[in-house]
Amino acid sequence: MSELPEVLSEQQAVRATIEDYVEGARTGDFQRMQRAFHENADIYGTLYKDGVSRLAGPIHILFDFVDATGAAEKLEVTSMRIDIAGATANVRLELDDWQGMRFTDFLNLVKTEQGWLVANKVFHQWV
């Protein structure tokens, strides 16, 4: 039973990282979003806007998108699941109305000296 407080503390820390990601999107503040990600993070996913396209590369692609499109004020997290294993974690987010789009994100995090950081984002845009 002594592990329960530690697990809850780690979940809160992961949630704080995810909050920087989501609030960065909601407010259009890519610098806040950037705090949630490891400097070497990458992004992979499928977009269905103006046809089908695959997106793959460094996470700065996402920051550039947020900087260009601005605040997603109606963005809502409809579901979040956190799974932690030691110094790694996986978060599944269901996001609704990000600039009119709906996404499922899978965020892989690592615990670093700076705290929990997203190392990889894989996403799917729903049509």
Model pTM? 0.93
Mean pLDDT over 2-21 rounds to 88
- The CATH number assigned to the domain with range 3-126 reads 3.10.450.50
What's at 78, amino acid-wise?
A: T
pLDDT, tens digit (0-9, with 9 covering 90-100), for 78-122: 999 999 999 999 999 999 999 999 999 999 999 999 999 999 999
What's at 94, amino acid-wise?
A: E
pLDDT, tens digit (0-9, with 9 covering 90-100), for 50-76: 788 899 999 999 999 999 999 999 999
Answer for the pair 20, 117: CB distance below 8 angstroms, yes or no. no
Q: What is the pLDDT, as a whole number, of residue 6? A: 78
Look at the alpha carbons of 40, 46, 49, 55 in this order and tell me if their dihedral is positive or negative: positive
